[in-house]
Structure 1
Amino acid sequence: MLKKSLLARMLAGAATLAAVGVVAGAMPSSAAAPSYSYKCWGTSKDHCTVAVQAPKGWKFTQLDRDQAKFTKGSTEMLRVDGIYAKVSPKTQVARKTAELKKVPGLKILSLSNGVTPSEITWNNPKVVFYDVKYTYRDGARGQRVVTTRYADTLDGGNHALVELTVGGRAQDQAELDLVLRKATQTVTLVG
């Protein structure tokens, strides 16, 4: 009798887990990993100065020689700028944080830093970066959450060579974190 009762509970538990798995599988994931492709831009059509892997399907807009942005509708954005700063990523993030304090309604969420492997074989094998994550209210788009990252792709943390920024709504953060990670690992200054 005890064996039948235990077996019945095990089968009922397995059926419940299977049903939860089906429901969870059917629900959309806010952290679904986008697919990526390389994009480069620079001084002319046949010479690029900055290259990065960005999400496929996001609209590309070159802002100037070393800066471009990728947008997904009006809610999500990745901006990449080859800034070639002569100061460290840590110093550059401190400067950015000071500038941000002038923004009405700004709230600094975090300051962080890290090291991640580079996927670019001719760069330094590791990218050193410093971040400032903040939120503010945009009149047209509502509350925005932004992470600005200063990265050194060549010199081990001595120079903020690239500024990477992702922004979107709070519910976009899982995808934007993936986009920022991929951009950090694949961004390179070519020329």
Structure 2
Amino acid sequence: MLTPRHQALLMTLAGMTVGVVAFGTVVAVHGGNPFTAHDEPVSVVSPAPSSTPTRGGGLQADGLQYVVQNFGTDNDPVSADVPVGWKSSQSGTRPKFLDPTGVWQLRFDTRGSRQSPDELVRDRERSIEEKDLQVMSRDNGLLVYTYVDKTRGPRMGLSRWISLDGGRTSAVEITVGGRPQDEAGLRSVLQHAVDTLKVPVSPGDNRPN
């Protein structure tokens, strides 16, 4: 028979055992890798690409594709390659093709002139009335200039006159416009239009001046 002292000792040991078991259970629940939830990969959501060309970077020549556009008149049809997506609100002898953002443009004037390309370069330079006009070059029938538009900021223009008779007169004017940082792309668009330009050779000379 256990004495009261022995009974008290057994109760104390039993309490300690229960405590150890309970502590072990707590460790088992919270044990293992405490960072399991954080080890799962976190997905990074990237913004969806925009279909509108960025206005921050310059016009990239290698990103352009071209399509043939027909204009001029029934008696004097003209065609040239224009970047895909650039649209003109008018046809005829003076179509102007704009990209969807309105930043870049390509304009043709097929009316011709009795003046030489170099003479037209000088006339155009004198006629431009834009803020902070700076002419960068005026050689070989090509006028390159920059200015500041009051709503669109810094702009650049390149105008080229095409002669079909050795430089005596001008048949077509091609002008591209954009921003100064677009210069490489604008030159590419202009050169592509020149290379693909098809103009009929008229027997008579009906140029306006």
Q: TM-score, normalised by structure 2?
A: 0.62
Counterpart amino acid of residue 152 in structure 2: R
3-state SS in 2 of match to 1:96: helix
Partner of 1:53: 81
* Change in CA separation of 1:171 and 1:38 when aligned onto 2, cut-off 3 Å: same
Partner of 1:25: none
The reply to whether residue 66 of structure 1 matches residue 76 of structure 2 is: no
Contact 1:62/1:68 (<8 A) preserved: yes
Q: How does 1:18-29 map to 2 (within 5 A)?
A: none
* Change in CA separation of 1:161 and 1:43 when aligned onto 2, cut-off 3 Å: closer
Q: How does 1:104-123 map to 2 (within 5 A)?
A: 104-113=131-140
3-state SS in 2 of match to 1:67: coil
Q: Distance in 1 between matches of 2:167 and 2:132?
A: 31
Higher percent of residues as strand:
1
3-state SS in 2 of match to 1:84: coil
Which of the pair has more CA radius of gyration? 2
Q: Percent identity?
A: 34
* Change in CA separation of 1:29 and 1:163 when aligned onto 2, cut-off 3 Å: closer
Deviation at 1:79, TM superposition (A): 0.4
2:196 to 183, 186, 189: 186
* Change in CA separation of 1:161 and 1:58 when aligned onto 2, cut-off 3 Å: same
- Structure 1 runs not aligned, ≥5 long: 1-27, 114-129
Q: Distance in 2 between matches of 1:31 and 1:69?
A: 19
The reply to whether residue 32 of structure 1 matches residue 62 of structure 2 is: yes
Structure with the larger RCO, 1 or 2 (CA within 8 Å, 6+ apart): 1
Partner of 2:33: none
- Structure 2 runs not aligned, ≥5 long: 1-57, 203-209
